Chain A
């Protein structure tokens, strides 16, 4: 099976942390208004890409932080 994962461990941890922080800010109400609404959903993007270890933008730009 082809290995689609293109993120190193540190990259994944960073994304997951960023996702959790954004979700906390958005859903917890620390940030309100338009940004609060944006964070509520934007947080899922780094969380998901970090959990999967695959970033579509990296894939398009042919970037890899994971060592082959």
Chain B
């Protein structure tokens, strides 16, 4: 079977390689969002979906350790990579960064995380020690969670499903 990567490397246009497999549940969950974003960038960014089971040599060549993985190429060179299931907004940011060559700002900054964690902890502490108020403790907990929500696998799975449901 021909190496699909050669076509990618010889393509002068920006290309995004999506590595997936039929048994990979996160790949299946991400696929509809990936296709929607791909359609938005039709003509600007080419999309190549590669089945990892059929082309293990591509995985070796790109040093891909896990799927789903998106690898962005521009002028035949790798310019960006994103590993793991991504929400639609992150996929769109990835397409944009491959197209423009400007690295996508990934998620929350360390400063924002620290600010949310510290203030959430402070509010929860006021609720626990000073006010004995469960409302403040809940608010503090929510603020602390907002600092790390994008790293929470349960939140990722649930929010992805809800978005899919809302979009029908």
Contacts and interface: CB of A to CB of B under 8 A. Distances in A.
B37 interface: no
Given A27-B131, A27-B136, A16 B111 contact: no
A47 B116 contact: no
A50 B115 contact: yes
Interface string B108-144: 0001100110110011001100110100100000010
A22 to B, nearest CB: 10
Kindly state the interface size class of chain B when it binds its partner: 10 to 19
A27 B115 contact: no
Interface in A4-30: 9, 12-13, 16, 19-20, 23-24, 27-29
Contacts of A24: 122, 126, 130
Given A9-B111, A27-B136, A19 B119 contact: yes
B115 A13 contact: yes
A9 B111 CA distance: 8
Interface of B: 89, 111-112, 115-116, 118-119, 122-123, 126-127, 130-131, 133, 136, 143, 146
Nearest first, the 6 A-B pairs at minimum CB distance are A28-B130, A27-B131, A20-B122, A16-B119, A24-B126, A27-B126
